[in-house]
Structure 1
Amino acid sequence: MQDREDRIIDITIEDEMKSAYIDYSMSVIVSRALPDVRDGFKPVHRRVLYAMNEDGNTYDKPTRKCASAVGQVMKYYHPHGDSSIYGTLVRLAQPWNLRYPLVQGQGNFGSIDGDSPAAMRYTESRLNKLASEMLRDIEKDTVDFQNNFDDSTTEPTVLPARFPNLLVNGSAGIAVGMATNMAPHNLGESIDACVAYIDSKGDIDVAGLMSYIKAPDFPTGGFIYGYAGVREAFETGRGRIIIRSRCEIEVHNNHERIIVTEIPYQVNKSELVKSIADLINDKKLDGISGIADESNRKGIRIVIDVKRDANSGVVLNKLYKMTALQSSFSVNNIALVKQRPEDRQGRPQLLNLRDLIHHFIEHRHDVVYRRTQYDLRKAEERVHILEGLIIAVDNIDEVIRIIRAASEPQEAIEQLMVRFNLSLLQARAIVDMRLRALTGLERDKLRAEYEALVKEIAHLKALLADKELRAALIREELLEIKEKYADERRSEIIYAAEEFNPEDFYADDEMIITISHHGYIKRTPLSEFRSQARGGVGAKGSDTRDEDFIEYIYSASMHATMLLFTQMGRCYWLKVYEIPEGAKNTKGRALQNLLNFEPGDRVNAFIRVKNLTKDQDFVSSHYLLFCTKRGVIKKTLLEAYSRPRANGIIAINLAEGDQLVDVALTNGRKEVLIANRNGRAVRFAEDAVRATGRNAMGVRGMTLDEDGRDEVVGMLAVEADTEETILVVSEQGYGKRSLVEDYRKTNRGTKGVKTLNITDKTGELVAFSAITDEHDLMIINRSGITIRVHARDISVQGRATQGVRIIDLKKRGDEIASVCRVLTEEDEPELSEELDPTATSVAPELAEGTATQDQLPQELLDRAMDEDLNK
């Protein structure tokens, strides 16, 4: 009884639970869930590869049943059940899971749709060539071995690993209190980074390594969208990487459809298709008429049919936002690192890119050193034997006499040792020597082998003594791996913003932007306006407040940036999609609610640029040309206005009483024409105006009449060889077109020549524009009436003529407020106010880059080039 009580140890349950949980945690962390930083494997992966290699299940032999490999692993190394072992074996063979698979599978190994593999009794496998590089030289005492679970054999604690497998194939695992999620990378890029680390002798930072490894390279391809997460992951070991599917828009049976050929890493394809279908059925995703999965063994192909009235680009961006077509990969680079060589187990550590490469290179140094020691030992042993054989060959007659005289082999060995001062190994080798070694050829071979081994021993000793020589050898072996197995990147990088751009949710359609006299602005689709014959009375274009009227009308695409210039010389920025949309007969929204105007200021000029903040070459080679009411002109680089500010900036310094009239975007080589209310115009070369800073006042461009009423009404900047004609329109609806050549060149600052014969019937000049036959005119009068007129219907006349009536104002008794040119459309039939919603303008789509040259006729291409709308 006393003995029984002595065997009972009293402990507190809290201490026991704490101790047991810590033991369990360490077991999971070290022996199950986290990879070793040196070879990138968890124990189960390492055991599968080692067991298959030991069993001869290699790439140069036929495949064998997976059940055989699983049985070997479970029998000797991994007593945790066959399902976990087979799952590991399967994953090592799946090309959508591993960037570089290490097992070659035959049979059903599952699919990217999440299908389970066939049972292991049906499937076959073997190691592939790349896996052999992970195990190469393992027989040369390059790594430590430990007893297996039942001490019946030994297993390696790490593999020699000739390439950085952890970096190349990544890893994922959930331990206790921590997890790892490491992205795969391109083999060639990873080796280049390792070589750069070796060349710099470790004196290279993460930024330097990133010049070789641009980003992760996922096995399923796709696009890495944005670079901030990649940089953060490389620098800190943690980051969030956005992955987008590879999608193309193609036309089929006169309607568009989205073709998905690559999906994000670790996304289940069938679940993705189902989620899109559910969104369509639940009416949460508009614009899609159907979806089909046409994938086969050649690759992924998901077909998404887009409705005829929907924009494919907008639908695709909604899919990116609402479905797994765009996913994120959260990097968490935690791996086991041995703090000291004598440590039995590694410790979890968060690693950046440099850390991963550093630990791999150090592992390779250790492997090469131990391999060199092994090779040196074997070479010295062989040299020792060869020395004895050479002595025997040189004294062959006496050797033969001793052997013939001996009664047994042992006696011969002992006599040879005494006679020639040989070791036991040498004497035994002589006794075992075959008679063919006595031939002259064999004697020469012995001496050649001896000399080669002597040189090899010297080289091996040099390797052991010089770390730089070992580094050069590691470098050479890495480049050999790259030459054999490297391939191209699959994941492309898009250096873009991480979040969705608001532009992604707006089709890049052409819009008509109208601004009223009191500063109300709106955008209306160009298709809502219809063409009328010259002299028509027009259609109601906008309802305005009392005493208000439409004063300005412009065309621009939804994604363009609008630079708005006020009469007080300030510049503001506004995206077209930020302008509220309204029908033709609505008044819009006050600009004061959109921009921070100063009291009493108003917009009276704008420039539309497609990529203001992105196209540095464009903004640094183009200019803004300003013209004021008093005839002052100024030229400044567009770059000075490419950094938007919420409160606007000073665009031009104005003299007291002066106002900004017009602004033009130029390339520095255009002809400038300025017209005044009294019907005169001046023409001069743009280079007559020197480029100045943003805050400059400018120089005189045109001398005005001293009648107290004269002022500039417009400025044009045209190419010297332009085919455009100069349009002038008077207050009472008269207008004409004239050739640019009709305006003779004069010096800057002169009064110019007559451009319109001003009479009481015509009224003063109100519009001055450059057009071709391919344009329409949008004419707005002060009562808000809109009319669209074909420019080809307006005759070309001399510059001093009166012109023809282009709009009938007598029925309303008002005056023309503004005239704007737009790209022409085919005449539409007379419609009610409910216009055809499918009416579109094809040429603006080309001009803004949403159509390709092979989709549109040449005349539209030429027109777009003339318009300079590609920016």
Structure 2
Amino acid sequence: MIEGDRIIKINIEEEMKSAYIDYSMSVIVSRALPDVRDGLKPVHRRVLYGMNDLGLSSGKPYKKSARIVGEVLGKYHPHGDSSVYFAMVRMAQVWSMRYPLVDGQGNFGSVDGDSPAAMRYTEARLNKLSEETLLDIDKDTVDFQLNFDDSLKEPTVLPTRVPLLLVNGASGIAVGMATNMAPHNLSDVVDAIITYIDNNDVSIDELVTIVKAPDFPTGGIIYGYQGVKEAYATGRGRVVIRAKTDVETDKNGREKIVITEIPYLVNKAELIMKIADLVNEKKIEGISNVNDESDRDGMRIVVDLKRDAIANVVLNHLYKYTALQSSFGVNNIALVKGRPQLLNLKELISCFVEHRHDVVTRRTRFELDQAEKRAHILEGLIIASDNIDEVIRIIRAAQTPDEARENLIKRFELSDIQARAIVEMRLRQLTGLEQGKLREEYEALLKEIARLKDVLEHVHLRMEIIKNELFEIKTKYKDGRRTEIVYASEEFNPEDFYANDEMIITISHLGYIKRTPLSEFKTQNRGGVGAKGSSTRDEDFIEHIYPASMHNTLMFFTKKGRCFWLKVYEIPEGAKNSKGRAIQNLLNIDPDDAVKAVMRVKRLADDVEFTNSHYIVMGTKKGVIKKSLLADYSRPRQNGVNAITIKDDDELIQARLTNGRNEILMATRSGRAIRFNESTVRCIGRTGQGVKGITLESDNDEVVGMVCVKNMTEDILVVSEKGYGKRSKIEDYRVTNRGGKGVKTMKITDKTGDLISIKSVTDDNDLMIINKSGITLRVAVADLRTTGRATQGVRLINLDKKQDAIASVTKVLAERLEEELLVPDATDVDVPDVNDSEEENA
């Protein structure tokens, strides 16, 4: 054979795809995710089954962990020994598992994060609860599969009587998905399962009243209930856990915070170190010392306070900056019939009941088969005992056991199994007492066979068996809840840590933002009039100036139709002469996205009446307009939300806050504008596309701006790309129906160029005009006289080059007002708002 013929050419891209898919599926199915039926990953299942193989029941002596690990590695789990050992160790840790499955002896680590001793030093055996997970495994209750070298068989799932997935939870990171399931109290879970069995149509809300909330092995307090309800209803949620604390007073009258329980999965030693670091860095004031006084009787972390410190204030800061308050992100993903699936509480219970029903059915079939086999043999033995003299004569006359069996089969019409049992029968069974026992056993078996057949015929009997076994488990292993629930508490409110001081928010044209205390603008500096405030680049300028308090909210809308939120206290503070931070660095905006509209709302989450009576109106480049209730945007998310569904060739150009009774103006490049009442735009949900606001004259036409008419004293200013502008009264634009072509707002000619901007203006405004060549010019609106709607307008600026054109037009405060605001000797400032898209004007 030629050497080259042995090389098979394949496409590396296809090979990488298939190899990665195989790898990811292996991780998902065979490593990281638990089976919904027994709640175990393969490694945990193999450890328990391997320990069962070794006979390590709860009543037997402990065996070295190394012996167990070797058994599991050699027979079932051909991976690293540490993966098996640490899986076994975790099943023995009382702070990791709500109901440990392994009884360990020796150093199995600590809640401080100490590593367990080496496997050659520790010992282990199964505990009583884990024996319940393996019960009936020898009764054909579950399927078996060949191990890695096809030399042995291992169970694909355990026939557990304990709902392990719910009581112990699970966590794991697969490829492209992860699971994080909370532990629960066994009594609560059993009661919920029994309720489901009695009524399969029970609602999740009813089940929640039984299960109540997760029950963590380290105790603590579940703070707030909304995340718990979401987790049970959808399979995903955020459960906030707080440490359990008390405030004690020593003999000197000083207070100290005593922590007796910490949140689940928090490392105690790291927690104490974090508190000490924060004290040293002076991020938390009022703490004089931190001691760990934990012992075998329980946990006790003592935080000594300074004499003038207030315990509740210090405690709030500890919750804010340390793991004394942490969250458990519930993500109920488990393998259902070999496929990963997100499950709510009812589905988890349903899958366990289905598994138990399958186990009980298979066990009953197995027991029926065994009973029928035994009854068949007993029938033969009874026949033999009734004809004992003849049986003995036939056996004595036979030359071999096989001949004896054949003769017995012919004489008494027996089966081969019955004849074999008679030949192998002991002499003691010929006594009268033994013959009576045979008949009693046979009659009892007949009753058992009838019962088992009845169970197989009736589902309700099988369900009754499942309920009785669950009740037995509850009776044996129940305990009280460890984690308290505080139902009335809301989630941690960061506003508690910021005084509601007045601020000035400035946003530049290029997207730089900062907040400056209003007190800075009212401070009389020594001598002189000072200089203007914000230091921006040559081509940049202040576009928006907002007075706002620290608890206000700014809403940002991007051209892709996304909405983001920033609390004022989240905006970096800067001096009057600083540039600020780029908005892109504060929000999770895509690199190819950009902020198109900003609005300030004072009361977003806490004023239901306001959010349910105000609207956000959005306009797009292709003439679409959309109106949504402000309440739809009252739940901020870190990654933003879709404010409007934007088509590929479209983008958002403006968003305004309205009261539902305002009027809207939209203008197009072709020089037409439409005015209509916003009441003609029906209110739709947050992810809707909107409706037609104006009909474009051609495919190349587009909307250049949208104005929300809130003040009839304002004028409408339109600007064309070749430097012409025209100021007209709002009354010149008659109100028409939405969706029309509108009326002429400016006479478009080759001389004027296309329309590029429409603004509502007063004499208190200036226009910042940016040319495509990069030149920025400032024009006072007060210098423009009001003219008719259909005129060509007047030249605002002279363009030096023929190829040059206006790139954008922005409305800002008049220069005189801006000077008054931004110079440091302005002793009393009343800040006007250049962007009327905010709450007071709505």
What's the TM-score bracket when you normalise by the shorter of the two chains? Answer: 0.5 to 0.7
Deviations 1:294-338 (A, max 9, x none): 111221110111222222222222211121111100001111111
C-alpha spacing 1:440/1:347, structure 2 compared with 1 (3 Å): same
| TM-score when normalising by structure 1 | 0.56
The alignment status of 1:311 with 2:310, answered yes or no, reads: yes
1:739 corresponds in structure 2 to none
Aligned residues of 2:181 and 2:332 also touching (Cα < 8 A): yes
Q: Is residue 292–residue 302 contact of structure 1 (8 Å, CA) maintained in 2?
A: yes
| Offset at residue 457 of structure 1 (A) | 0.8
Secondary structure at 1:212's aligned position in 2? Answer: helix
Match of 2:177 in 1: 178
Aligned partners of 1:413, 1:390: CA distance in 2, in Å? 16
Q: Select 1:236's aligned residue among 211, 231, 234.
A: 234
SS in 2 for 1:211: helix
CA distance in 2, matches of 1:19, 1:73: 30
Distance in 2 of aligned mates of 1:500 and 1:335: 30
What residue identity is the alignment partner of 2:418?
Q
Conserved 8 A contact 2:181-2:330: yes
Measure how far apart 1:252 and its partner are.
1.6
Residues 1:429 and 2:427 aligned together: no
1:361 and 2:353 equivalent?
yes
Contact preservation (8 Å) 2:405, 2:420: yes
Opposite residue 491 of structure 1, the aligned amino acid is: T
CA distance in 1, matches of 2:168, 2:608: 46
Q: Distance in 1 between matches of 2:225 and 2:182?
A: 15
Equivalent residue for 1:152?
Answer: 151
Instruction: Provide the rounded CA distance (Å) in 1 between the counterparts of 2:449 and 2:254.
Output: 74
Q: Which amino acid aligns with 2:84?
A: I
Q: How does 1:401-420 map to 2 (within 5 A)?
A: 401-420=393-412
Q: Which residue in the other structure is 1:22 paired with? A: 21
**Partner letter of residue 104 of structure 1?**
D
User: Does the C-alpha gap of structure 1 residues 356 and 644 become closer, same or farther in structure 2, counting only changes over 3 Å?
Assistant: closer
Q: How far does residue 503 in structure 1 lie from its aligned partner after superposition? A: 10
> Which of 368, 371, 376 in structure 2 is aligned with 1:384?
376
Partner of 1:207: 205
Alpha-carbon spacing, 1:30–1:309, altered in 2? closer, same or farther (3 Å) = same
How far did residue 406 of structure 1 move?
Answer: 2.7
C-alpha separation in 2, matches of 1:503 and 1:148:
58
1:251 is matched by which residue type in structure 2? Answer: T
Q: What is the CA distance between 1:408 and its match in structure 2?
A: 3.0
SS in 2 for 1:138: coil
Counterpart in the other structure of 1:458: 450
Q: Does 1:261 align with 2:256?
A: no
Shift of 1:398: 1.7
Aligned residue number for residue 618 of structure 2: none
For the 8 Å contact 2:204–2:233, the answer to whether it is kept is: yes
Quick one: which amino acid aligns to residue 222 of structure 2?
Answer: I
d(CA) in 1 for partners of 2:494 and 2:25?
48
Residue 502 of structure 1, CA deviation: 8.0
Conservation of the 8 A alpha-carbon contact between 2:429 and 2:435 = yes
Equivalent pair of 1:241/1:331 in contact (CA under 8 Å): yes
Return the alpha-carbon distance in structure 2 between the equivalents of residues 94 and 211 of structure 1: 29
Taking the aligned partners of 1:190 and 1:646, their CA distance within structure 2 comes to: 40
**Residue identity in the other structure for 1:378:** Q
CA contact (8 A) 1:314 1:504 kept: no
Q: CA deviation at 1:401?
A: 2.2
The 8 Å contact of residues 136 and 363 in structure 2, kept in 1 or not, is answered as yes
Residue matched to 1:296? 295
Q: Give the aligned residue type for 1:375.
A: E
Q: Which amino acid aligns with 1:236?
A: T
**Contact 2:409–2:419 (8 Å) recurs in 1:** yes
Partners of 2:167 and 2:184 within 8 A in 1: yes
In the TM superposition, residue 644 of structure 1 has moved relative to its aligned partner by 9.4
Q: Within 1, Cα distance between the matches of 2:364 and 2:107?
A: 43
Pairs aligned (count): 505
Partner of 2:273: 274
Tell me the C-alpha RMSD between the 2 structures. Answer: 2.1
Equivalent-residue separation in structure 1 for 2:140 and 2:41 (angstroms): 21
Superposition deviation, residue 407 in structure 1:
3.0
Q: What is the CA-CA distance between 1:500 and the residue it aligns to?
A: 2.9
Q: Which residue of 1 aligns with 2:633?
A: none
Give how far 1:171 is off: 0.5
Task: Give the greater-gyration-radius structure (CA).
Answer: 1
CA distance in 2, matches of 1:499, 1:160: 40
Q: Which residue of 1 aligns with 2:799?
A: none
1:7 equivalent in structure 2:
6
Deviations 1:21-79 (A, max 9, x none): 11111111111111111111111011000011011111121000000100000001101
- d(CA) in 1 for partners of 2:39 and 2:19? 28
- CA distance in 1 between counterparts of 2:182 and 2:347 reads 15
CA shift at 1:432, angstroms? 1.6
Amino acid paired to 2:267: N
Partner amino acid for 1:28?
A: V
Query: Which residue of 395, 402, 407 corresponds with 2:387?
Result: 395
3-state DSSP of counterpart to 1:140:
coil
CA 1:16 to 1:505, structure 2 compared with 1: closer, same or farther past 3 Å? Answer: closer
- Aligned pairs (5 A) from 1:113-192: 113-192=112-191
| Counterpart amino acid of residue 215 in structure 1 | A
Instruction: Give % identity.
Output: 68
**Inter-partner Cα distance in structure 1 for 2:442 and 2:139:** 22
Cα offset for 1:126?
A: 0.3
Q: Which amino acid aligns with 1:267?
A: V
Q: Deviations over 1:797-846 (max 9, x none)?
A: xxxxxxxxxxxxxxxxxxxxxxxxxxxxxxxxxxxxxxxxxxxxxxxxxx
Partner-residue secondary structure (3-state), 1:481 = helix
Q: In structure 2, how many angstroms separate the alpha carbons of the residues matched to 1:467 and 1:9? A: 57
1:248 corresponds, among 246, 249, 254, to 246
Q: What secondary structure sits across from 2:481 in the alignment?
A: coil
Give the aligned partner of residue 475 of structure 1. 467
Match of 1:496 in 2: 488
Task: Give the letter aligned to residue 356 of structure 1.
Answer: L
| TM-score (structure 2 length as normaliser) | 0.58
Uncovered stretches (5+) of structure 2, i.e. residues with no partner: 499-550, 552-605, 611-842
Q: Aligned ranges for residues 71-82 of structure 1 at < 5 Å?
A: 71-82=70-81
Deviations 1:120-156 (A, max 9, x none): 0000000101001111111011111111000010111
* 1:54-108 CA distance string (max 9 Å, x none): 1111112100000010000000110111010001010010010000000000000
Deviation at 1:8, TM superposition (A): 2.6
Question: CA offset at residue 504 of structure 1?
Answer: 7.2
- Letter in structure 1 aligned against 2:92: A
Q: Is the 8 A contact 2:34 2:334 kept in 1?
A: yes
| Cα offset, 1:175, TM superposition | 0.6
- Letter of the aligned partner of 1:472 in structure 2? E
In structure 2, the residue matched to 1:445 is 437
Counterpart in the other structure of 1:101: 100
- 1:597-617: CA deviation from partner (whole Å, max 9, x where unpaired): xxxxxxxxxxxxxxxxxxxxx
In terms of mean alpha carbon deviation, does 310-319 or 289-298 score higher?
Answer: 310-319
After superposition, the Cα gap between the structure-2 partners of 1:504 and 1:392, relative to the gap in structure 1 and judged at 3 Å, is farther
Gaps of 5+ in 1: 339-345, 507-576, 578-642, 648-871
Q: Is the 8 A contact 2:65 2:124 kept in 1?
A: yes
2:224 matched to which residue of 1?
226
Task: Report the alpha carbon displacement of residue 435 of structure 1 after superposing the two structures with TM.
Answer: 2.1
- Residue 760 (structure 1) aligns with: none
Find the aligned partners of 2:94 and 2:210 in 1 and give their Cα distance: 24
The answer to whether residue 313 in structure 2 is matched with residue 321 in structure 1 is: no
Distance 1:126 1:120 in 2: 13
The one-character-per-residue Cα deviations of 1:723-763 (angstroms, maximum 9, x if unpaired) are: xxxxxxxxxxxxxxxxxxxxxxxxxxxxxxxxxxxxxxxxx
2: CA distance between counterparts of 1:463 and 1:380?
Answer: 15
Matched-pair contact (CA < 8 Å) for 1:313–1:504: no
Shift of 1:286: 1.3
The answer as to whether partners of 2:223 and 2:491 remain within 8 angstroms in 1 is no
